Amino acid sequence: MTDTITISVDAMGGDNAPRAVIHGAYLALRERKNTKFIFHGRQEQIAPLLEEFPALKPVSIVRHSDVVIAGDEKPSQALRKGRGTSSMWMAIQAVKDGEADVAVSGGNTGALMAMATFCLRPMEGISRPGIAAIWPTLRSDIVVLDMGATIGADAQQLVDYAILGSALARCLFDSEQPTVGLLNVGTEEVKGLDSIKDAGKILAQASGAGFIYHGFVEGDDIGKGTVDVVVTEGFVGNVALKTAEGTARQVSSYLRSALKSNLMSRIGAFFAMSALNALRRKMDPRTVNGGVFMGLNGIVIKSHGGTDEIGYKSALGLSYEMARSHLIDKIGETMKRFPVHAAPAADVTESEAKPA
């Protein structure tokens, strides 16, 4: 890894691509000067946008591709259509070939996971890749995974996610022993599915091998920031994420309505403007945009497809930090410390279920 971080970008992924992608890259470059970009997609659309941001053009390469993966395409269909030729695949391939340190796309999540898994392959000892999200809490940001890569994870996969999540937490939070909790319906050892209880036993034995196992945590512990890493299977994780996003929008809507309800409320809002702006920024999902695909032989970041340039700036900033912090090396270090032999990686086929 050199001092310069090269980010491979699927410029056609997302509802507002490629303009939001290129604009977001420009904003990211302003904060991190030692960044280079490889943009993959339709050159006739990308090139004029680079002209609008002169500072971005000298540190950018454009790789042309006419093949764009649609948001509603099934992973198997996307693989047949775009394997080797689509802007999404090319962005990932650049990481595999060593041309880039990390890949970013705001495209179809299921297709991106399928392509990333096919192209980069799961790391040795990791049975299934997972998607990790950075989650703001009352204490500080935490890591939550899986966000939908695997529905109905077994005990071994939950253990894998604990290894992956703790490595990500070490990169983000500068903690050698982040705390890990298993999301459950209660904190008592007798509660929950057998897979969760079995995973808890394994993690309890391994506590100290790159993380500290806290035990079971409940839904409200996510917002409290009780642990640095919350581990769950993809169905529950995805529901929790969408519920949190919806609740944030609901609270923001209630607050705006209350502050505009009468003259005194509007006057109070004027004097509290600084605090209200700070709250708005804290609740803005664009500032924590980016899901990290964990467990692959390379770093891939999934941006929210409907975000704007601010959201892409956040996703690109996250990708920079993951590459700079040597995420893959930290995962390997954690696995070497782990006292329990991990299961071999599962074979991947085009008929794999789509992530949530």
179 located within any domain:
yes
Res 352: pLDDT: 46
Res 350: pLDDT: 46
Are residues 253 and 135 both part of a single domain? yes
Are residues 167 and 271 both part of a single domain? yes
335 located within any domain:
no
Are residues 68 and 96 both part of a single domain? yes
338 located within any domain:
no
Distance separating alpha carbons of residues 339 and 219, to the nearest angstrom: 29
Are residues 135 and 281 both part of a single domain? yes
Tokens of 75: 């992973």
Contact between residue 104 and residue 316 where contact means Cβ atoms under 8 Å apart: yes
Are residues 152 and 277 both part of a single domain? yes
pLDDT tens by residue, 249-268: 788 788 888 888 888 888 88
One-letter amino acid at 13 equals G
| Residue recorded with tokens 């509603």 | 72
66 located within any domain:
yes
Contact between residue 131 and residue 355 where contact means Cβ atoms under 8 Å apart: yes
Number of structural domains found in the chain: 2
Are residues 315 and 209 both part of a single domain? no
Note the pTM of the prediction, 2 decimals.
0.85
Are residues 101 and 142 both part of a single domain? no
169 located within any domain:
yes
Distance separating alpha carbons of residues 92 and 39, to the nearest angstrom: 11
Q: How far is CA 226 from CA 69, 172, 214, 223, 242, in A?
A: 39, 17, 9, 8, 20
Distance separating alpha carbons of residues 161 and 213, to the nearest angstrom: 13
Question: HSE of 16 in the Cβ direction (CA atoms, 13 Å)?
Answer: 16
The candidate with the shortest Cα–Cα distance to 305, out of 5, 20, 6, is: 20
| Residue recorded with tokens 């689509």 | 86
Q: Furthest-apart CA pair in the chain: how many Å?
A: 65
Res 218: pLDDT: 94
Each of the 356 residues of the chain gets a pLDDT tens digit; together they read 458 999 999 999 989 999 999 999 999 999 999 999 999 999 999 999 999 999 999 999 999 999 999 988 898 888 988 888 999 999 999 999 999 999 999 999 999 999 999 999 998 888 888 999 988 888 888 999 988 888 888 999 999 999 999 989 988 887 889 999 999 998 888 888 899 999 999 999 888 888 999 999 999 999 899 999 999 998 998 898 888 878 877 887 888 888 888 888 888 877 788 877 777 777 677 788 889 999 999 999 999 988 999 999 999 999 999 999 888 888 888 777 776 544 444 555 444 444 44
Are residues 124 and 268 both part of a single domain? no
Q: What is the DSSP letter of 169?
A: H
Q: Which of 254, 285, 316 is the last residue of a domain?
A: 285
pLDDT tens by residue, 204-225: 988 888 899 999 999 999 989 9
In sequence order, the 6+-apart residues with CB closer than 8 A to the CB of 58 are none
145 located within any domain:
yes
The neighbouring-strand residues paired with 5 are 35
| Residue recorded with tokens 């700070």 | 278
The candidate with the shortest Cα–Cα distance to 293, out of 83, 143, 149, 123, is: 149
In sequence order, the 6+-apart residues with CB closer than 8 A to the CB of 229 are 142, 143, 144, 145, 162, 165, 166, 168, 169, 178, 179, 180, 181, 211
For residue 278, what is the domain's CATH number?
A: 3.40.718.10
Are residues 319 and 305 both part of a single domain? yes
Are residues 238 and 225 both part of a single domain? yes
Are residues 154 and 199 both part of a single domain? yes
In which domain, by residue range, is 163 found?
130-285
